[in-house]
Amino acid sequence: MSRRRPIAAALPAEPLDPAQIAGQVIDGDCIAVMRRLPDACVDMVFADPPYNLQLAGPLHRPNNSRVAGVEDDWDKFADFAAYDAFTHAWMAEARRILKPAGTIWVIGSYHNIFRVGAALQDLEFWILNDVIWRKTNPMPNFRGRRFTNAHETLIWAARDARSRYRFNYKALKQLNDGLQMRSDWLLPICSGPERLKDDDGRKAHATQKPLALLYRVLQAASAPGDLVLDPFFGTGSTGVAAKALGRRFIGIERDPGHVALATSRIAAAPDSADPRLLGGDGFEREPRIAFGLLVEAGLLAVGDTLVDRTGRHQVRVRADGLVEAGRGRSQAIGSIHQMGAKASGGPSCNGWVFWHVSHPDGTLEPIDGLRQHLRAEIARGRDAAADDHDDGDDRMVDEAGDGDLTTYPEQPVS
């Protein structure tokens, strides 16, 4: 198989406490280290495993300079079977320590990504997307024998098919100028000052990933305070991005030199901004408003008529927070959603945007506008109350707006 270190079966398997080692880089084989972590303890895994590059010999540019490829021992495997066994082993451990709602990201190239993707499926991970990192500045194909290999592939997968995983949809839509984020991401490769060099000016790691890539991954599929594990930590880009975004991390790395480099790099890296600015989705779920509240608040009156956009359907507002249509035998009563579904003929309906009130000038306004009005009033009252108590060292923040409070220490503003 490979010339990697013997795995840790013989080493003492002292348990590790995830909370204790968060923010650290653990020196060791990732399989051995993961075995010491408890089940279901991390929220996300980001993995940049060896690519199994299989370069035949040294490659030279047309001007005869030599291309510095990946020639490290960690990228050497005897054959596909050896690579598959290795992949299966680390991935099974990663799945064990992943929380049920957690997701995994794995990055690779055509040399290994098909083995990786098949292994994920075989282990019953559930693929959510394959994401293409399109490089703005890839290395050209010097021989002119293939297409410029201008991308790498990331696979994003949930722990299983029924996972209620996190995806910060609105935050990413915002990042993409108001349109859904697509599965193809255009980002530069890691170069310039971001690229770590050793004392001789050579690159410190053969496959350092750009921070921008890690930012986007963490923004998409984790929340502030989440614990992110990177089993192939390298120079620690995952840690730097996690620190900047208020996520906690555990890094595992076999090469002691890289462990030291990553540790000092992260210590020097900027900390996260005010955690309140980092919210999971950036757009927390708004507090729920029952339709009946609009009547209580005087925004609608019992007996008012609601119409759909085309004017083809109408309902009357009842006192109990339901609406009714028709008279006598053909009368139907239900929630705004149920009656909207009935009217539109679909399996479901968002009554808030389906039904409208008619203004005197003939224009229609969705009742969602009334709801937003009411929400704003409620928020003003809540903020006034909160101002009286906002002076502690720790903040209690309802990240998701769902009543779960996350506590974490105050962070300096960077």
Partner DNA sequence: GACGAATCTGAATCCCGTC
Partner DNA sequence: GGACGGGATTCAGATTCGT
Partner interacting with residue 137 (select from DNA, a copy of itself, none; CB below 5-8 Å by kind) = DNA
**Contact partners, residue 165, CB within 8 Å, separation at least 6:** 101, 102, 103, 128, 158, 159, 221
Q: Say whether residue 342 binds a copy of itself (CB under 8 A).
A: no
402 binds DNA (CB under 7 A): yes
Q: Sort 316 into a burial class: Cβ within 10 Å, 0-12 / 13-18 / 19+.
A: middle
Binding segment (CB under 7 A) for DNA, from list 4-12, 205-213, 260-268, 385-393: 205-213
Residue whose entry in the numeric block shows the structure tokens 């083809």: 312
Residue 88 or 342: which CB sits closer to DNA? Answer: 342
- Helix residue spans in 285-406 (DSSP H): 292-296, 336-344, 351-354, 367-386
Separation between Cα atoms, residue 90 and residue 241, nearest integer Å: 23
Taking CA atoms, 400 is separated from 166, 168, 223, 255, in Å, by 11, 11, 9, 38
How far is it, in rounded angstroms, from Cα 113 to Cα 352? 44
d(CA 234, CA 255): 8
CB of 114 to DNA, least distance (A): 9
85 binds, among DNA, a copy of itself, none (CB under 5 to 8 A by kind): none
Binding status of residue 285 toward a copy of itself by CB under 8 A: no
Token couple for 129? 């997307």
Tell me the closest approach of the beta carbon of residue 412 to DNA, in angstroms: 29
Strands (E), 48-122: 98-108
Q: Does 144 bind a copy of itself (CB under 8 A)?
A: yes
Single out the residue of 171, 206, 299, 325 in contact with DNA (rule: CB under 7 A): 206
178 binds a copy of itself (CB under 8 A): no
What lies within 8 Å, CB to CB, of 354 at 6+ separation is: 308, 309, 336, 340, 343, 344, 366
CB of 407 to a copy of itself, least distance (A): 26
**Greatest CA separation found in the chain?**
90
Choose among a copy of itself, DNA, none what residue 277 binds, the Cβ cut-off being 5 to 8 Å by kind: none
Give the shortest CB-214-to-DNA separation in angstroms.
Answer: 14
Which of 16, 29, 35, 51 is in the footprint of DNA by CB under 7 A?
51
Nearer to a copy of itself, 128 or 273 (CB): 128
* Tokens, residue 318: 């009842």
Q: Is 334 in the site for a copy of itself (CB under 8 A)?
A: no
Specify the residue, 164 or 327, whose C-beta has the smaller distance to DNA: 164
Q: Of how many residues is the chain composed?
A: 414
- Name which position in 54, 264, 305, 414 contacts DNA (CB under 7 A): 54
For residue 227, report the phi and psi dihedrals to the nearest 5 degrees.
-100, 120
- Binding positions for DNA, 278-307, rule CB under 7 A: 286, 288-291
Q: Which is nearer to a copy of itself, 138 or 369 (CB)?
A: 138
250 DSSP β-pair partners: 229
Among candidate residues 68, 48, 66, 232, the one with its CA nearest the CA of residue 152: 48
**Which of 3, 9, 64, 303 contacts a copy of itself by CB under 8 A?**
64
Measured distance CA(185)–CA(135) in Å, rounded: 8
- Give min distance, CB of 183 to DNA, in A: 9
175 binding a copy of itself? (CB under 8 A): no
Is 179 a binder of DNA (CB under 7 A)? yes
Least Å distance, CB 356 to DNA, is: 14
- Give DSSP secondary structure letters for 245-288: TT-EEEEEES-HHHHHHHHHHHHHSPPP--GGGS-SSSSPPPPP
310 binds a copy of itself, rule: CB under 8 A: no
Taking the complex as a whole, how short is the minimal distance between the CB of residue 350 and DNA, in angstroms? 3
User: How many residues belong to the site for a copy of itself (CB under 8 A)?
Assistant: 56
Q: Does 286 bind a copy of itself (CB under 8 A)?
A: no
Please name the residues in contact with 143: beta carbons below 8 A apart, sequence gap of 6 or more: none
Positions in the binding site for a copy of itself (CB under 8 A): 58, 60, 62, 64, 80, 109-111, 113-118, 120-122, 127-132, 134, 138, 140-141, 144-151, 153, 155-156, 167, 169-170, 172-173, 180-184, 220, 344-350
